[in-house]
Amino acid sequence: MPETTTPQTRVLKPEWLKIKLPSGKEFSEVKQNVEQHKLHTICESGKCPNQTECWGAGTATLMILGNVCTRSCMFCSVATGNPEVVDITEPLRVAESIKLMGLKHVVITSVDRDDLIDGGSKIWAATIRAIRRHCPGVTMETLIPDFKGNAENIQRVIDIKPEVVSHNLETVKRLTREVRIQAKYERSLEVLLMLKNGGIARTKSGIMLGLGESEEELFEAMDDLRNSKVDILTLGQYLQPTKKHLPVVKYVTPDDFARFKQIALDKGFRYVESGPMVRSSYHAEKHLV
């Protein structure tokens, strides 16, 4: 059974959650490229536990529209506040960097930009176009915000048809208001359905476990995602990034993650990544199959 925590007692991270320290030539090259071109990555801003593995393999998840988010989700370590003015040169810089890194598949994500009328969707579209133009043959996953459910803004991404479009549900319905303060569970499901009905071949979503959800609530969320025609699901362990964020309620065992993967596959998902260290962009290149 998963271990539980209370405000009075906290358990140490289990052995299966230990993270290797960064090392290797490939890791250094990706880091240098990111710094040289003044790129933001969710690997760093989100304190992803897979940064060592992914950067060591020469891949990274790039984050556009700055590194300050207008939302204050209680699970996320990305800075919250008033973002800087949009950089119109960013799409070209991102495309040129992808070309220099020699990537074959790239994941693009962004902060929420609720301060913008278009939610940042015009920069999203310009970035995807720039990658298509300067990096022919490179496949793409775009991990998009909900754009407050605005159909026009979502359509800008649909029109360019990235190979995979992802939007994370993050948690079960009951916990959404606590975990994703400015987000809405039903709105995320509507966005995912809009993407699929708009012609996106592969849609994807992710859920964090260990925030206090029950198995029944998790299975209900899986059903809701399937009703929104989602193809790909990621399940991973929530890890508290700082003391200001929500505490871990339980550590889910690798055996339970394996069991949840089979249940998700039985529900009809085409591909499922499920494990303690899984994050939404983990092994993203495999989701093209």
DSSP labels for 204-220?
EEEEEE-SS--HHHHHH
**pLDDT level of residue 56 (50, 70, 90 thresholds):** very low
**pLDDT level of residue 35 (50, 70, 90 thresholds):** low
Across 219-246, average pLDDT: 95
Specify whether domain 22-288 bears CATH 3.20.20.70.
yes
What pLDDT does residue 235 have? 97
* pLDDT one-digit tens code per residue, 93-136: 999 988 887 778 889 999 999 999 999 999 999 999 999 999 99
pTM equals: 0.85
Q: What percent of the chain has pLDDT over 70?
A: 79
Q: What is d(CA 29, CA 285) in angstroms, rounded to the nearest whole number? A: 20
* pLDDT one-digit tens code per residue, 156-187: 999 999 999 999 999 999 999 999 999 999 99
Overall residue count recorded for the chain in this entry: 289
- Report DSSP state, residue 167: -
What pLDDT does residue 263 have? 98
What pLDDT does residue 78 have? 86
Collect all residues with Cβ–Cβ distance below 8 Å to 288 and sequence separation of at least 6. 105, 139, 163, 164, 202
- Of 71-80, 187-196, 201-210, 261-270, give the lowest mean pLDDT range: 71-80
- The CB-side HSE value for 244 (13 A sphere, CA atoms) comes to 7
- In the predicted model, is pLDDT for residue 27 greater than 60? no
